[in-house]
A and B are shown apart, each in its own frame.
Chain A
Amino acid sequence: DAGVTQSPTHLIKTRGQQVTLRCSPKSGHDTVSWYQQALGQGPQFIFQYYEEEERQRGNFPDRFSGHQFPNYSSELNVNALLLGDSALYLCASSLGGLSSGANVLTFGAGSRLTVL
């Protein structure tokens, strides 16, 4: 059973460019969340998608946008890249709607973005 898969694993962009990161959730999961992890820090919540809509958003500017497709896969887009956008971008999936228990997030290995 495949877990969360992300692509690309590594990429290098220059300031001002745009980037698209992709995520396929774990089989059976319907909710996808994106996190940004800067070097030496813990992950920070960017936003969450389910039923093809953005449902929650962290403290990130509008340059960060996303999409969820009917098959539950998701994309993260970042426009007008800044040096500070260099980070590991983690996708996490879960089966939403549970009213009890852990509702554990399953993470992918991430896409490491370097902005020069």
Chain B
Amino acid sequence: AQKITQTQPGMFVQEKEAVTLDCTYDTSDPSYGLFWYKQPSSGEMIFLIYQGSYDQQNATEGRYSLNFQKARKSANLVISASQLGDSAMYFCAMREGRPGRRALTFGSGTRLQVQP
């Protein structure tokens, strides 16, 4: 079974509008972390936001927020007030187990295109 599922291969959004990118995950470990990364055409993965499994509140970082629904095993990324520079690939990733030197499992990504 896929550990990280991103069901939206591509999304379009108008500039200044909000957009939600979906991510569902599968793990039996009670301790885990969820990450979102942005990958522009240059190739570098840019960290956006993190949510720990025991965090009580949804994570927020500027225009990025993570809609964490633990029972549904979803961790959707919400980008508010989209900008042209937000056009990129977006990847959801999971770390299973407690923080430390652990590998990330990535989803297949969503390509976001922001239209003027």
**Which positions in A face B, CB cutoff 8 Å?**
31, 33, 35, 40-45, 48, 50, 55-56, 58, 88, 90, 92, 94, 96-110, 112
Contact = CB atoms under 8 A, between A and B. Distances in A.
Q: Interface range on chain B: under 10, 10 to 19, 20 to 34, or 35 or more? A: 20 to 34
Given A102-B35, A104-B35, A104-B50, A43 B101 contact: no
B104 interface: yes
B94 to A, nearest CB: 11
A112 B99 contact: no
Contact of B91 (A43, A55, A108): A43
15 contacts: A42-B91, A43-B91, A43-B106, A48-B103, A56-B101, A88-B43, A97-B100, A100-B99, A102-B99, A104-B47, A104-B50, A105-B104, A107-B45, A109-B43, A112-B43
Given A56-B101, A88-B43, 19 more contacts: A31-B101, A42-B106, A42-B109, A43-B45, A45-B105, A55-B101, A56-B103, A96-B100, A96-B101, A98-B99, A99-B100, A102-B99, A103-B33, A103-B99, A103-B101, A104-B47, A106-B47, A109-B44, A112-B43
Interface string B45-79: 11100101000000000000000000000000000
A6 to B, nearest CB: 9
